[in-house]
Chains A and B, each alone.
Chain A
């Protein structure tokens, strides 16, 4: 095996390491502060093109919450939304708004996602 020396290789390796660092930062370390507050209104979460929009929602603790989901993506994975910590699983009909009632929750983060976890979202309760 030949080790290729030279300035070029060093640059290429540096670029590679930089990319790796970027990946680590972008996907794991980055903690987005923004989230949509839904304490006063019912908000609608659009399920389309691989993401829940919005995907980070803030709600009040100890109060029942109503979340509306509007699914536009025809793929069957998007058709079900699961809240594993609350043992809730609901079917979302296509192009029709579906309201899901969540029980009062204690503070914390609750993830919601589709069965194959292609779509993911977080509910922040405080």
Chain B
């Protein structure tokens, strides 16, 4: 801590006497000068020099929880960062102008044919002055290179600073020797390179400045997400409503939200009703009605009503905070293709230093006079042209932009590897219920098989047996019954058989409820109802059979509407050459009917939950790069086995950490968008790596002098410096080009 006060937020203090307990306990900690608690805000200010951990432990030991209030919010961090970046950019530009201020006139003088000789004392004096000025520039504009180079050297590592320091240092030292002791060198070798030193330092600073500018623009996606977070919240404490900073909201606090305000934390409505605009997270433009017991999500916008809600997730645990965290992490993670550049850079700089020495030796041994001058020039130029800044930027810049673009489209990519693999998908497995379809099935038909039972009885029996189930088909039955005012009754002896159905006893009658397989297994006679069920299935409905005492009582047909844009989205995937396959536990006939409606030709039906991964493995064995899309919870093993697992949801209910790629918006277009963005990002990375490599790979031999024996061409160190700035600029501009990419309109 830089000053002597700290602030803690206390959890669990419910009354005024807690205040004195806490204050007494904290005041007795050695090093604490004063501890004062503000009960209304539940905060304690401690003056004194003492570690935060000890204070927190002390509070915990008397039965309360505490956390440091000095956690800076993401918003403030962002502001601080921007200010710091502005300052640094201004500094770099200033350094550049100072260096170019000397370098450019000198270069112009040299190009205009001005004499660079050191014959007379006057000339030597002038050059010495320039040499001193140059040293000044190296200090003002280039200090960070030299210090950085030294510190890494001491640490047994070498980086870009090393190359620049060595390159410019060599050029300057040689020039000073020429000025001070010209007789040591043959006349032809008495060249001055002060202008090269100054220009190189100026140009490298320029390159760094441009890089910084571009970096700032790539983090727009994160800025937008962070901007969704509220800064304050209105909580009810001691029956009064107080406005507090968002970091101070505690779990289970009751929060008031008025019309037009942002929801501050995740929670559950306790009083009132309203409609909330969730479009910033889910893309759904229609506001969602919220009543008591409905969930609300941080970052969404309250429209017309006023509600109270209980905070269920605060701070870093809100869905929004988790999304921000994931995007940040993903932006910094490297796809496998980028690791190539890393491996190279570990060896790169020392190898370049060796090449510089070798090329100098070659000139000294075999080169024409002035061999020494040539040797120095080529060594310097090799060091400068080899600067790996562009290489280091190539992958991270594109990944940052790509992940950000995906986040804007509602696609959360977990890391660089997922990004790269997604671009190579050849087959996509889609779960049916909840992925292709809405996941909100409704009862469409009831066919009575035994006239002793009324429709009402059928529904009562079915809903009683399914009332505990979470399966969407069961929900449809239960919802339908509730609509008709039917109450489920108590059942006994309940058994569920996965993939078949359920069995139970209701009022001494044995009930069986499930699919055709269940009926056949239990020997229930179906007769003409097989055909009737088939007709229903052909209409993409799922027939469910109810048998009472082993006799067929009725067939209940349930239909799950297909999502509006599933057909288009699937077409998009197929247009990209992806093999789309449907996977479902539902029966073959219904599955095929749905598949036909949406344009899928391959269907795996009647798949038991534990068999889903096998289907993934099957496709992989056929050599496909498999993407699997499901709801994340039931399909977890299959999602994990797939090359890329996509979890699709409605933004607020998806377990965010579980899948490689999370689609926040329920639409299947997210899949096509994700793949399109991944492909665009990967090709951008490849372009960048190529661009960065070309400068280095082509530049180094050129600088070393390989073209001299054939064409008399030698690379000028100043040009090398310019090329370095230019290569950074190229990589950064190309990465920014990715910002303009738009996945197909839909």
Contacts and interface: CB of A to CB of B under 8 A. Distances in A.
Interface string A25-51: 011101010000000000000000111
B156 A26 contact: yes
The DSSP consensus for interface residues of chain B is helix
B625 interface: no
Contact of B350 (A23, A32, A87, A89): A23
B716 interface: no
Interface string A100-126: 000000000000000111101000000
Contact of B72 (A27, A75, A93, A117): A93
Interface in A33-92: 49-51, 55, 74-76, 79-80, 82, 84, 87-89, 91
B77 A91 contact: yes
Given A9-B365, A12-B361, A12-B364, A79 B151 contact: no
A91 to B, nearest CB: 6
A78 to B, nearest CB: 10
Interface of A is mostly: mixed
Interface string B439-468: 000000000000000000000000000000
B357 A20 contact: yes
Contacts of B149: 50
A28 B734 CA distance: 34
Contacts of B155: 51, 55
A28 B365 CA distance: 28
B361 A117 contact: no
A84 B333 contact: yes
B616 to A, nearest CB: 24
A76 B72 contact: no
A49 B165 CA distance: 14
A4 B156 contact: no
B364 A4 contact: yes
A27 B366 contact: no
B81 A93 contact: yes
A56 to B, nearest CB: 9
A1 B366 contact: yes
Most buried by A among B332, B360, B415: B332
B156 A80 contact: no
Given A9-B364, A49-B144, A50-B148, A79 B91 contact: no
B683 interface: no
User: What band does the interface of chain B fall in when counting residues whose beta carbon is under 8 Å from A?
Assistant: 35 or more
Contacts of B393: 116
A2 B147 contact: no
B163 to A, nearest CB: 12
Interface stretch (B82-90, B469-477, B592-600): B82-90
Nearest to A116: B392
B365 A76 contact: no
Given A49-B151, A50-B147, A89-B333, A4 B371 contact: yes
B311 interface: no
Contacts of A55: 155
A76 to B, nearest CB: 6
Contacts of A24: 350, 354
A93 B80 contact: yes
Contacts of A93: 72, 77, 80-81
Contacts of B28: none
Contacts of A96: 2, 72
Interface string B714-729: 0000000000000000
B389 interface: yes
Contacts of B347: 28
A24 to B, nearest CB: 7
B212 A76 contact: yes
B345 interface: yes
A3 to B, nearest CB: 6
A29 to B, nearest CB: 10
B107 interface: no
B732 to A, nearest CB: 12
Given A19-B357, A23-B350, A24-B350, A117 B159 contact: yes
B389 A116 contact: yes
Nearest to A121: B155
Interface of A: 1-4, 9, 12-13, 16, 19-20, 23-24, 26-28, 30, 32, 49-51, 55, 74-76, 79-80, 82, 84, 87-89, 91, 93-94, 96, 115-118, 120
Given A27-B156, A27-B349, A117-B342, 20 more contacts: A2-B368, A4-B371, A13-B365, A16-B357, A19-B357, A27-B350, A28-B347, A50-B147, A50-B161, A51-B152, A55-B155, A74-B84, A76-B212, A80-B332, A84-B334, A89-B332, A91-B81, A93-B72, A96-B72, A118-B159
The 5 closest A-B pairs by CB, nearest first: A50-B148, A89-B332, A116-B392, A27-B350, A16-B361
